[in-house]
Amino acid sequence: MPNPLLFQPYQLGEITLANRVVMAPLTRNRAAGGLVPSPYAAEYYAQRASAGLIIAEATQVSAQAQGYQDTPGIYTDDQVAGWRKVTDAVHAKGGRIFLQIWHTGRISNVAVQPDGLAPVAPSAIRAVAKTFVGGAFVDVSEPRALELDEIPGIIADFRHAAANAIRAGFDGVEVHGANGYLLEQFGKDGANQRQDAYGGTIENRARLLLEVTAAVAEKIGAGRTGVRISPVSPANGITDSDPQALYDHIVAGLDRIGPVYLHVIEGATGGPRDVAPFDFGRLRRLFAGTYIANNGYDGVTAEQAVESGAADLIAFGHDFVANPDLVERLQAGVPFAQLNRETLYGGGAEGYTDYPVYDRA
């Protein structure tokens, strides 16, 4: 039997992936010491290095960008040094790794904001959403609207974070434009009621994501820049009145900038794929680069998607938590281990580096 396409190498810009299985970004809240990746992070990611590409967890671009406890950053030299241990460990095992760079915007709480100030957002509209601080899920805080003259600073923070990620040895970065965080808050009209150049029309609402992507691509190269979007996901209490028109515009704009990949959460993040009518095939056709599909895939649907050309690469999220050898399990057709929800967020090695590989006995 020929080797299924899912397990064949793929050329992503200048880097060669061993297969077409991607580890989706997974927040694990273990960067307790100064928001530097935990001592266990290198082992955790190295255990998963047989993925064709790892996209490391959402990592804030500044102190203001933080929304949850103990999520890592990439804006200080100590954080860069911490991440260098992770990238070295993954590369030593022949893996490839990007970093997802993140501003949470209104999905934050004063408890994790510098000086306890209000989180920032396109408009002063509080999300109906929770964040994780002090070991518990709590309501997000009331945000304040960013001033127009603060926006260049946000773009600069992403650019600086991307440069730091390359210094830390990452093969590239993924701009987090999904799941109800800052860049998506600007895009979707349920969170953006601005009346300046960043609000109102689709063109204006899309502007920040496109400017951030262009700035990152200019800094580190479009070939090392990816973008993640979630057009219809209600994650973190976000809504939009016309997502197809919005994302047709965004993806056409991204195509002109030319990031190496577009990573699309198809449906409700971690939930139903058919949450709202949406033509993901249109986005695929609008974007000339690599299309990574995510959300609810299994071995069968993943292989179908790459064989049919619907996607180039398939990202798996929660299955990578309890299955460090997910690629080998997919290839062998053996069952997946189930994750323990109790140890998802925070803590140490338990539920993080102690999931075993499949035991044939």
Among 122, 143, 317, 351, the residue binding ligand FMN under the rule CB under 6 A is: 317
| Stretch 257-286 residues interacting with ligand FMN (CB under 6 A) | 265, 269-270
Task: Assess contact for 235 and 105: CB atoms under 8 A.
Answer: no
Among 170, 316, 352, 355, the residue binding ligand FMN under the rule CB under 6 A is: 316
For residues 99 and 82, give the distance between their C-alpha atoms in angstroms, rounded to a whole number: 13
Stretch 292-311: interaction string toward ligand FMN, x if CB under 6 A: --xxxx--------------
User: How does DSSP classify residue 117?
Assistant: P
In this complex, which beta carbon is closest to ligand FMN, that of residue 58 or of residue 222? 58
Does residue 24 touch ligand FMN according to CB under 6 A?
yes
Q: How far is the CB of 13 from ligand FMN (least distance, A)?
A: 20
Q: How far is the CB of 2 from ligand FMN (least distance, A)?
A: 25
In this complex, which beta carbon is closest to ligand FMN, that of residue 72 or of residue 122? 72
Region binding ligand FMN by CB under 6 A among candidate stretches 60-68, 84-92, 171-179, 299-307: 171-179
Region binding ligand FMN by CB under 6 A among candidate stretches 61-69, 195-203, 289-297, 326-334: 289-297
| Stretch 91-130 residues interacting with ligand FMN (CB under 6 A) | 100
| Contact partners, residue 77, CB within 8 Å, separation at least 6 | none
CA separation (Å) from 201 to 36, 172, 242?
Answer: 39, 31, 11
- Per DSSP, the residues of 257-304 read H--SEEEEE-SSTTS-TTSS---HHHHHHH--SEEEEESS--HHHHHH
Cα 55 off chain centre by: 7
**For residue 323, what are its two tokens?**
């299955």
CA angle in degrees (0–180, nearest 5) for 2-263-97 = 75
Region binding ligand FMN by CB under 6 A among candidate stretches 60-68, 200-208, 291-299, 324-332: 291-299
Helix (H, G, I), strand (E, B) or coil at 237: helix
Q: How far is the CB of 230 from ligand FMN (least distance, A)?
A: 8
The residue whose two tokens read 């100590």 is 78
In this complex, which beta carbon is closest to ligand FMN, that of residue 99 or of residue 151? 99
Region binding ligand FMN by CB under 6 A among candidate stretches 24-32, 110-118, 241-249, 352-360: 24-32
In this complex, which beta carbon is closest to ligand FMN, that of residue 95 or of residue 199? 95
| Stretch 318-347 residues interacting with ligand FMN (CB under 6 A) | 318-319, 344
| Contact partners, residue 149, CB within 8 Å, separation at least 6 | none
User: How does DSSP classify residue 356?
Assistant: P
Q: How far is the CB of 269 from ligand FMN (least distance, A)?
A: 5
Residue nearest to ligand FMN (CB): 317
In this complex, which beta carbon is closest to ligand FMN, that of residue 145 or of residue 179? 179
Q: Which residues are catalytic?
A: 181
Side chain identity, residue 359: D
For residues 264 and 314, give the distance between their C-alpha atoms in angstroms, rounded to a whole number: 10
For residues 105 and 107, give the distance between their C-alpha atoms in angstroms, rounded to a whole number: 6
For residues 87 and 97, give the distance between their C-alpha atoms in angstroms, rounded to a whole number: 7
| Stretch 200-259 residues interacting with ligand FMN (CB under 6 A) | 228
Task: Assess contact for 72 and 37: CB atoms under 8 A.
Answer: yes
Helix 202-220 and helix 151-167, axial crossing angle in degrees, nearest 10: 30
Q: How far is the CB of 49 from ligand FMN (least distance, A)?
A: 18
How do beta strands 136-139 and 130-133 pair? antiparallel
In this complex, which beta carbon is closest to ligand FMN, that of residue 278 or of residue 316? 316
Does residue 178 touch ligand FMN according to CB under 6 A?
yes
Q: How many residues bind ligand FMN (CB under 6 A)?
A: 23
Name the residues that contact ligand FMN, by CB under 6 A.
24-27, 57-58, 100, 176, 178-179, 228, 265, 269-270, 294-297, 316-319, 344
